[in-house]
């Protein structure tokens, strides 16, 4: 993308943000549940990244909403000006310790909540703020010839500051998780002390070239299913969410639909278009049911544009579910999201790597392998190269001093 | 070719750094040069004969209250300045009496305000048999 293009995108981003001053407020409930939502999202992302079980992954960024009116807080007292925020950092790296045996680490960190001021490090901590961080870490072992991955670790939820509107929340250090993947199937469990929290079973049948699958053909059109079971604990019934992701065209166009059980209700649907299957750039349209029971207003229609380092969304289900159900405003995200396997790059969840610049070298045609004269240093010696003649250099005999000095 | 790929990489890094700088300059502490995140409220009783007993923030169902100005203001008096974190749209509950010495029945008036933060000087006046409000 050209520099002027980025500048235009940024200016238009600020302009649309200014127009969207009448955004809907985020609720106290959504902020109070933020910790559980973040923990689940982090495990879901780890599931995506561990599909290969080796290589590396880096993801960091933050949501950017410049105006206080974009994500105000709705409390029983009224509407508070301020900012919902989400700063995150994630990394995975694995190395081959012996043939086909890979050992790695995952580390996911997110600091999110709501505050009266926007900030990067030090919040205002006012009476109505909530600032929370969630860290997930663990060790990963992959046996690549068996296509088997096992990972396990801990999750910590740190209630850094809880304002007067929210239920009491303590730091919770004893969440643990485990993940087992064999081929296209994975199972992931999350626990708190001895209680199970969630269980996620994924069957990713789609053939993905980044993990050694097909580049095209019918196998790339196989569906991906996910079933997530959540423990309602003492507050609610256990629930199940089933997702179906389907490649619709050349791994560039995907459909996604999610249902909730036992209510047998539609939860969300999305249509996503990636100009390149590496998913570094994407366009998506989403529809989400908000459980408002308000007829057609129950459905939230939205979309997003993902441009490698910037994501711009309006009412998109991804933002709604990760940023405390924020809606009715344009939400920007500055981000860096890159996964790698064997030196190839792709965004999280992508089936193919990005097309890299490559030079074809044909040893039979040596003369055409390198440009003949492009003004740069030629390492290969061709017959046309003139020899250097040092005719203008005078040599002088060194004096007797060279013999001395001892 | 080497130079091209280097300049392309440098261009990408420069573009990302530029975006990060713009975002940094618009977010965080700089916005506090022109945005207030706290309200410093002072109330003046400009009524002739009525006394203000307290000013609170009321919940929307008017069942919960959060005290803000907790001092009796006789006609012509001003309160101390009290700083709170209320910035946004809220309803005030003003308790008052129709007497100049704060005696008699306590009456209650509710009024919605949009508080932009910063120094707020609220003037309470008497008009058509009830309280009226304006910020100075």
Query: What would the DSSP string read from start to end of A60-110?
Result: EEEEE---TTTS-EEETTEEE--EEEEEEEEEEEEEEEETTEEEEEEEEEE
Residue of A61, A66, A82, A117 to mutate when probing chain B, most B C-beta within 10 A = A117
User: Is the pLDDT at A240 greater than 60, yes or no?
Assistant: yes
Cis before A4? omega within 30 = no
Looking at the complex, report in whole angstroms how far the Cα of residue B7 sits from the nearest Cα belonging to chain A. Answer: 13
Tens-digit pLDDT profile for residues B59-89: 999 999 999 999 999 999 999 999 999 999 9
Q: Contact, A130 vs A123, CB < 8 A?
A: no
pLDDT class of A357 with cuts at 50, 70, 90: low
Among A6, A118, A126, the residue with its CB nearest the CB of B28 is: A118
Calculate mean pLDDT across residues A14-25: 58
Give A385's pLDDT tier (boundaries 50, 70, 90). Answer: low
Q: How confident is the model at residue A405 (pLDDT cuts 50, 70, 90)?
A: very low
pLDDT band at A118 (very low <50, low <70, confident <90, very high): confident
pLDDT at A221 over 90: yes
Percent of chain A, pLDDT > 70?
Answer: 81
pLDDT interval class at A396 (50, 70, 90): low
List the single residue in A with minimal CA-CA distance to B20: A334
Q: What pLDDT sits at residue A18?
A: 47
pTM given for the model: 0.82
Numbered residues of chain A with Cβ closer than 8 Å to any chain B Cβ: 1, 3, 6, 10, 14, 64, 66, 68, 72-73, 76-82, 116-120, 124, 126-128, 309-310, 334, 336, 357, 359, 376
ipTM score of complex: 0.82
- C-alpha torsion sign, points B17, A313, A25, A14: positive
Residues of A in contact with B13 (CB under 8 A): none
How many other C-beta atoms lie within 10 A of the C-beta of residue A177? 24
What mean pLDDT comes out for the span A323-330? 93
**Top-confidence residue, A160 or B22:** A160
Question: What mean pLDDT comes out for the span B109-117?
Answer: 94
A401 confidence band (pLDDT: 50, 70, 90):
very low
Cβ neighbours of B117 in A, within 8 Å: 81
- The stretch A309-333 carries a mean pLDDT of 94
Whether A78 and B26 lie within 8 Å, measured CB to CB = no
Q: Determine the average pLDDT of the residues in B19-23.
A: 71
Domain spans, chain A:
2-209+224-341
Which single residue is written with the structure tokens 């939400």?
A331
- DSSP for A206-268, please give it: S--GGGT--SSSGGGG--EEEEEEE--TTTS--EEEEEEEEEEETTTEEEEEEEEETTTEEEE
Instruction: Give the pLDDT band (50/70/90) at residue A402.
Output: very low
Order the strands of the B130-135 sheet from edge to edge: B82-84, B39-45, B118-127, B130-135
Cα R_g (chain B), whole angstroms: 25
Bridge partners, A258 (sequence order): A243, A268
Tell me how far apart the 2 most distant CA atoms of chain A are, in Å.
Answer: 104
In chain B, the residue whose alpha carbon lies closest to the alpha carbon of A76 is B59
Query: Helices B2-26 and A3-19, interaxial angle, to 10°?
Result: 20
A293 φ, ψ (degrees, to nearest 5):
55, 45
- Beta strand B39-45 with B118-127 is parallel
Decide if B53 contacts B45 (C-beta within 8 A). Answer: no
pLDDT at A297: 67
């Amino acid at each position: 993308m050209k520099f002027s293009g980025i500048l235009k995108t940024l200016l238009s981003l600020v302009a649309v943000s200014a127009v969207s001053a009448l955004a809907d407020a985020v609720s106290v409930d959504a902020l109070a549940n933020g910790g559980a939502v973040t923990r689940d999202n982090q495990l879901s992302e780890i599931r995506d990244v561990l599909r290969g079980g080796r290589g590396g992954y880096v993801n960091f960024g933050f949501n950017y909403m410049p105006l206080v009116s974009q994500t105000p807080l709705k409390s029983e007292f009224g509407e508070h000006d301020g900012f919902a925020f989400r700063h995150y950092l994630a990394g995975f790296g694995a190395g081959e310790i012996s043939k086909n045996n890979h050992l790695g680490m995952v580390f996911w960190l997110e600091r999110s909540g709501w505050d009266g001021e926007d900030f990067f490090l030090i919040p205002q901590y006012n009476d109505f703020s909530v600032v929370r961080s969630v860290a997930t870490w663990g060790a990963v072992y992959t046996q690549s010839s068996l296509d088997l991955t096992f990972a396990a670790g801990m999750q910590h939820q740190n209630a850094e500051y809880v304002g007067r509107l929210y239920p009491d929340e303590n730091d919770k250090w004893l969440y643990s998780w485990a993940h087992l993947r064999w081929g296209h199937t994975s199972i992931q469990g999350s626990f708190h002390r001895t209680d199970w929290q969630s269980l996620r079973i994924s069957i990713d049948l789609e053939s993905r070239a980044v993990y050694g699958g097909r580049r095209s053909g019918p196998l790339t059109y196989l569906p991906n299913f996910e079933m997530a079971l959540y423990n309602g604990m003492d507050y609610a019934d256990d629930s199940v969410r089933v997702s179906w992701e389907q490649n619709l065209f050349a791994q560039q166009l995907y459909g996604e639909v999610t249902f909730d059980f036992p209510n047998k209700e539609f939860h969300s649907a999305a249509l996503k278009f990636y100009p390149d299957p590496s998913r570094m750039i994407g366009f998506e349209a989403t529809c989400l049911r908000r459980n408002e029971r308000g007829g057609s207003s129950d459905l939230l229609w939205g979309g997003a544009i993902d441009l490698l380092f910037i994501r711009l969304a309006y009412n998109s289900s991804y933002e709604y579910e990760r940023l405390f159900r924020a809606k009715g405003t344009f939400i920007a995200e500055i981000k860096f999201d890159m996964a790698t396997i064997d030196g190839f790059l792709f965004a999280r969840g992508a089936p193919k790597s990005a097309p890299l610049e490559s030079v074809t070298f044909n040893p039979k045609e040596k003369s055409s392998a390198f440009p003949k004269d492009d003004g740069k240093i030629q390492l290969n010696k061709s017959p046309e190269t003139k020899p250097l003649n040092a005719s203008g250099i005078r040599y002088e005999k060194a004096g007797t001093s060279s013999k001395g000095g001892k | 070719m080497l130079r091209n790929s280097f300049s392309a990489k440098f261009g990408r890094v420069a573009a990302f750094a530029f975006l990060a700088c713009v975002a940094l300059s618009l977010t965080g502490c700089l916005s506090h040069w022109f945005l207030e995140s706290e309200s410093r409220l002072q109330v003046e009783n400009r009524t002739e004969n009525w006394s203000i007993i307290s000013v609170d923030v009321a919940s929307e169902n008017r069942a919960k209250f959060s005290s803000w100005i907790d001092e009796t203001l006789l006609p012509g008096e001003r309160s101390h300045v009290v700083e709170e974190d209320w910035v946004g749209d809220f309803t005030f509950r003003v308790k008052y009496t129709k007497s100049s010495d704060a005696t008699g029945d306590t009456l209650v008036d509710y009024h919605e305000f949009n508080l932009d933060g910063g120094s707020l000087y609220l003037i309470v006046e008497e008009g058509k048999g009830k309280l009226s409000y304006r910020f100075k």
